């Protein structure tokens, strides 16, 4: 699965940018509040507008303080998957229940420096695990390969979650991530920095699929 990140898109043309990746599996939307991460992007009103403008399932990644309070609103709005950070959540089990009750998949994310092992049991309540392969807050950062150990840990424990990775994904790093067992790849500049974003999505999907099936 490929989830283009609109963090690398033109914010003045979001509906057109979403249409440009019509073959994508999910559309990844980074919500940042300037507190949990040192950057400010968009919030619920823009997400609601984007949901009206695209049929692609919207994957909301909430890099915000107090997700216990704010996350359910994104599910209520119609987001397909809503991911919160374990570092910010007060009651991650309740958040997962609230998101699912509102009709969304529940996602849990960990920063590069956050170990996964203490939270393995929490993942029984979640549908997706988002492994950050850069420090959250800004696009265009370099991929941190060491985080792939978390992917391998999740797969080794046979957790019933879709494993997603976010940060520095391109034609080279997607191969490493696919080999580790990643199911869904968030790609920003590798898609929206290309001349043909839709073709870039298909190329990334083909590279990941080939590696997962053992093809060269």
Q: Are 216 and 210 in contact (CB under 8 A)?
A: yes
Sequence-ordered strand ranges (E) for the chain: 2-4, 27-32, 58-63, 81-85, 105-110, 128-132, 162-166, 184-187
Name the more confident of 146 and 214: 146
pLDDT band at 216 (very low <50, low <70, confident <90, very high): very low
Enter the tokens of residue 52: 């009206």
Task: Convert the pLDDT of each residue in 178-200 to its tens digit.
Answer: 999 999 999 999 999 999 999 99
pLDDT at 140: 67
Check 25, 98, 127, 166 and give the catalytic one: 166
Whether residue 215 has pLDDT greater than 50: no
Q: Report the topology of domain 2-196.
A: TIM Barrel (3.20.20)
Decide: helix, strand or coil at residue 63: strand
Catalytic-residue membership of 30? yes
**What CA–CA distance (Å, rounded) separates 110 from 116?**
7
Whether residue 214 has pLDDT greater than 60: no
The model's pTM is: 0.94
Q: What is the mean pLDDT of residues 35-43?
A: 93
Closest CA to 40 of 137, 124, 150, 119: 137
Whether residue 212 has pLDDT greater than 80: no
What is the β-pairing status of strands 58-63 and 27-32? Answer: parallel
**What CA–CA distance (Å, rounded) separates 122 from 92?**
8
- Mean pLDDT score of the chain: 95
pLDDT band at 137 (very low <50, low <70, confident <90, very high): confident
Whether residue 102 has pLDDT greater than 70: yes
Catalytic-residue membership of 196? no
Check 30, 59, 98, 183 and give the catalytic one: 30
């Amino acid at each position: 699965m490929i989830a283009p990140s609109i963090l690398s898109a033109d914010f003045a043309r979001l509906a057109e940018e979403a249409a440009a990746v019509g073959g994508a599996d999910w559309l990844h939307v980074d919500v940042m509040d300037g507190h949990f991460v040192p950057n400010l992007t968009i919030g619920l009103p823009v997400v609601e507008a984007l949901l009206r403008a695209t049929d692609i399932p919207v994957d909301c990644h909430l890099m915000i303080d107090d997700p216990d309070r704010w996350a359910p609103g994104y599910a209520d709005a119609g987001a397909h998957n809503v991911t919160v950070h374990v570092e910010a959540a007060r009651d991650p089990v309740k958040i997962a229940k609230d998101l699912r009750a509102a009709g969304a998949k529940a996602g849990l994310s960990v920063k590069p420096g956050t170990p996964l092992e203490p939270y393995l049991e929490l993942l029984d309540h979640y549908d997706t695990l988002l492994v950050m392969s850069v420090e959250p807050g800004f696009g265009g950062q370099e991929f941190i390969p060491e985080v792939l150990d978390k992917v391998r840990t999740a797969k080794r424990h046979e957790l019933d979650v879709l494993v997603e990775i976010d940060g520095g994904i391109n034609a080279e790093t997607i191969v490493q991530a696919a080999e580790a067992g990643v199911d869904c790849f968030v790609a920003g500049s590798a898609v929206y920095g290309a001349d043909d974003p839709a073709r870039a999505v298909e190329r990334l999907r083909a590279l990941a699929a080939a590696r997962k099936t053992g093809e060269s």
